[in-house]
Amino acid sequence: MTNPENEAIVRAFLAGMGPDIEAFKKTYAETMTEDVLWESVGGVPHQGRDLCIRHLDELKTEIGMEYCVIEVLNIASDGDMVLTERIDHCYREDGSLIFDFRIMGTFEVRDGRIARYTDYYDSLGAARAMGRI
């Protein structure tokens, strides 16, 4: 059954990925469960809110990512699960674009917080855009 409440939680989570790295980390701290699992399929999963926040710092150091603007194309839910089709626009501190990439995301919402956050995307294209290959 569609769950507009959980869809709103996911939309707010995605909208809170900026305008700077501190706001980005605050969004994670306030909206993720302590035991959250964040996985970008093809990459290393991050288990626990503290590791997810630490990964944001790693992305800042590695590729200069300061914030993201998320364009939600479609959203659907069934109970605790929320699916998103979106374009993530990732930026440096000076506002210059690092890359845009299309993502299909799966979120599990538990007690009003994000308990699982899994993204499916072209990991090879993202690795190229980030200068990893």
pLDDT 10s digits, 88-125: 999 999 999 999 989 999 999 999 999 999 999 877 66
The answer to whether the predicted template modeling score (pTM) of the entire model surpasses 0.85 is: yes
Tens digits of per-residue pLDDT, 41-81?
988 999 999 999 999 999 999 999 999 999 999 999 999 99
pLDDT band at residue 127 using 50, 70 and 90 as cut-offs: low
Query: Residue 126: what pLDDT?
Result: 65
Cα dist from 8 to 42, 73, 114, whole Å:
28, 14, 12
**How far apart are alpha carbons 60 and 93 in whole angstroms?**
9
Using alpha carbons, select from 60, 129, 71 the residue that is nearest to residue 103: 71
Domains, the chain, ordered by start: 4-129 (3.10.450.50)
Backbone angles phi, psi at 103, to 5 degrees: -135, 140
